[in-house]
């Protein structure tokens, strides 16, 4: 067989091979319509409660200077050390995709002169975050946070309000088995004394620590309490507890927070090993957790005070506290609990047509109704009136507007009351006013 013919046959065979589909990048996921209603449900609950509590919405850029997170989150943290998506721009700037929301909010607070606003400043946000970590259940490299911050008030009642709001969002979303874990990690003054005690304790157990904890021992000893390695967890059980070594102001602050929570009848559990994974926290820290099938605690969200962060970032000394939760984790929890949520899209009217001429009329009528702020549903691709009326029932439409061949020629519309089944013919010119009147009476 001539070589040219062989090559031609190879090319034909190659062209017939199925093209390998492109898949999502590892750690990323699509959010499909079947889950979107849960996302809307959770975020709508969060937005509504935040607005009721007097929070205003803020949106910060996804891309920030890398230094923002190094100074804010802390260089000796897993986020900055291992997990940030960082790169250098063509202009030579070192930038990172945001791994969390608080640092950006604080940067905005300083940059936009919010310290001159009436204090405290209450802000909430939602959006995508990015961390290069091992993908696992409910945890992705691109994920979504909903969070809120209060800047400019050091009162313990503010701590209680933030914890209450966080707890309330979960309660409203149907997660009634969440547990609040709570601790105080003191201020820079009492924490420095405690850190020395902690180092002394762990130095005697150094052979039992994981590689990361051995390195952190002198850099950031508090992180040893937060380590999830089993051997480190065992060692931490007998470690000194910071709550026993708080200075008087921090002790009184935490005592008042607990009293406010008791008054609100919010259940909580004291966890002396809870320190959170970020360097900026002071005094009150907390997490909202849920037990998995094996009885292990899984964090849905967390937060705490960060009274030194604004000053660290170049602003004036400003007390602050915040909280955020991972939306993916909450969605996963709702799916496991099989919580029933009515997510049907409800419409005022549903347009029903039969024939091409009727479809043209329907399109024009759809535009009129939308401009009149009437919620409209339609199913232009469906042929039978019966199937379209079933769709009208699924959307809980109050009225069906039916146009067939005769109505299209006469420039009329049949109004069908979906509850009673009564029908009436109305001219096309009068239909919008007639529907408005009937909806008002409904």
Question: Can you give the pLDDT at residue 274?
Answer: 87
pTM: 0.81
Question: Can you give the pLDDT at residue 204?
Answer: 87
DSSP secondary structure code for residue 21 in this structure: P
Q: Is residue 2 pLDDT above 60, yes or no?
A: no
Percentage of the chain lying above the pLDDT 90 cut: 43
Strands, sheet with 86-88, edge to edge from the N-terminal-most edge strand: 63-65, 94-97, 86-88
Lowest mean pLDDT among 238-242, 316-320, 381-385, 430-434: 381-385
CATH of 33-187+247-337, picked from 3.30.300.30, 3.30.930.10, 3.40.50.1460, 3.40.50.410, is 3.30.930.10
Q: Is residue 418 pLDDT above 80, yes or no?
A: yes
pLDDT category of residue 295 using cuts at 50, 70 and 90: low
DSSP secondary structure code for residue 240 in this structure: P
CA 246, distance to chain mean position in Å, is 33
Lowest mean pLDDT among 287-296, 347-356, 433-442: 287-296
Q: Is residue 6 pLDDT above 90, yes or no?
A: no
Q: Is residue 12 pLDDT above 60, yes or no?
A: no
* Higher pLDDT, residue 391 or 47: 47
Q: Is residue 8 pLDDT above 80, yes or no?
A: no
- Dump pLDDT digits (tens) for 15-56: 566 788 889 888 888 988 888 888 999 999 999 999 999 999
- Dump pLDDT digits (tens) for 256-290: 999 999 998 888 999 888 887 677 889 999 999 98
* Higher pLDDT, residue 114 or 332: 114
- Dump pLDDT digits (tens) for 360-374: 888 888 888 888 989
Rounded Cα gap, residues 286 and 181, in angstroms: 5
Rounded Cα gap, residues 230 and 37, in angstroms: 38
pLDDT category of residue 14 using cuts at 50, 70 and 90: low
Task: Write down the mean pLDDT value for the chain.
Answer: 87
CATH of 349-441, picked from 3.40.50.800, 3.20.20.140, 3.10.450.50, 3.10.20.880, is 3.40.50.800
Question: Can you give the pLDDT at residue 219?
Answer: 76
> Which residues belong to CATH 3.30.930.10 in the chain?
33-187+247-337
Where do the H-state alpha helices sit in 281-430?
309-312, 327-337, 356-371, 385-394, 405-410
For the ranges 186-190, 233-237, 247-251, 404-408, the maximum mean pLDDT occurs at: 247-251
For the ranges 33-47, 98-112, 239-253, the maximum mean pLDDT occurs at: 98-112
Question: Can you give the pLDDT at residue 231?
Answer: 84
pLDDT category of residue 72 using cuts at 50, 70 and 90: confident
pLDDT category of residue 382 using cuts at 50, 70 and 90: low
Q: Is residue 390 pLDDT above 70, yes or no?
A: yes
Cβ-defined contacts of 237-242 (< 8 Å, 24+):
238/201, 239/198, 239/201, 239/202, 239/273, 240/194, 240/197, 240/198, 240/201, 241/272, 242/183, 242/184, 242/185, 242/186, 242/190, 242/191, 242/194, 242/272
* Higher pLDDT, residue 296 or 185: 185
Give me the mean pLDDT over the 91-98 stretch.
92
pLDDT category of residue 11 using cuts at 50, 70 and 90: low
Question: Can you give the pLDDT at residue 4?
Answer: 55
Neighbouring C-alpha atoms within 13 Å toward the C-beta of 432: 14
Give me the mean pLDDT over the 148-169 stretch.
96
Give me the mean pLDDT over the 143-154 stretch.
96
């Amino acid at each position: 067989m001539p070589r040219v013919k062989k090559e031609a046959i190879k090319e034909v065979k190659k062209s017939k091979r199925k093209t390998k589909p492109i898949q999502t990048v590892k750690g990323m996921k699509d959010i499909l319509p079947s889950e979107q209603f849960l996302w809307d449900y959770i975020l709508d609950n969060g937005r509504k409660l935040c607005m009721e509590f007097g929070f205003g919405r803020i949106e910060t850029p996804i891309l920030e200077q890398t230094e923002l997170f190094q100074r804010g989150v802390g260089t000796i943290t897993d986020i900055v050390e291992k997990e940030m998506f960082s790169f250098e721009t063509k202009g030579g700037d070192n930038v990172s995709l945001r791994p969390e929301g608080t640092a950006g909010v604080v940067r905005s607070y300083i940059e936009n002169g919010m310290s001159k606003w009436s204090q405290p400043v209450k802000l909430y946000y939602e959006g995508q975050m990015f961390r290069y970590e091992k993908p696992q259940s409910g945890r992705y490299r691109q994920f979504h946070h909903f969070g809120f911050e209060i800047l400019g008030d050091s009162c313990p009642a503010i701590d209680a309000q933030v914890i209450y709001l966080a707890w309330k969002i979960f309660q409203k979303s149907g997660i009634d088995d969440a547990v609040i874990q709570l601790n105080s990690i003191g201020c820079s003054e009492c924490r420095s004394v405690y850190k020395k005690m902690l180092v002394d304790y762990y130095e005697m157990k150094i052979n039992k620590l994981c590689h990361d904890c051995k390195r952190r021992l002198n850099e950031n000893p508090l992180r040893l309490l937060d380590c999830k390695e089993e051997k480190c967890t065992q060692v931490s059980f007998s470690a000194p507890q910071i709550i026993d070594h708080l200075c008087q102001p921090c002790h009184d602050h935490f005592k008042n927070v607990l009293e406010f929570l008791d008054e609100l009848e919010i259940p909580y559990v004291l966890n002396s090993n809870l320190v959170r994974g970020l360097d900026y926290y002071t005094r009150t820290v907390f997490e909202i957790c849920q037990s998995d099938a094996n009885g292990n605690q899984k964090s849905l969200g967390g937060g705490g005070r960060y009274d030194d962060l604004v000053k660290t970032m170049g602003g004036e000394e400003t007390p602050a506290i915040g909280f955020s939760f991972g939306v993916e984790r909450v969605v996963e929890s709702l799916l496991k609990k099989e919580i029933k949520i009515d997510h049907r899209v409800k419409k005022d009217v549903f347009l029903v047509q039969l024939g091409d001429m009727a479809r043209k009329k329907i399109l024009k009528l759809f535009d009129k109704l939308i401009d009149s702020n009437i919620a409209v549903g339609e199913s232009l691709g469906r042929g039978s009136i019966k199937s379209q009326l079933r769709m009208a029932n699924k959307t809980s439409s109050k009225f069906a507007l039916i146009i067939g061949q005769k109505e299209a020629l006469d420039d009329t519309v049949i109004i069908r009351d979906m509850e009673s089944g009564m029908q009436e013919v109305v001219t096309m010119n009068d239909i919008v006013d007639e529907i408005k009147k009937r909806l008002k009476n409904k």
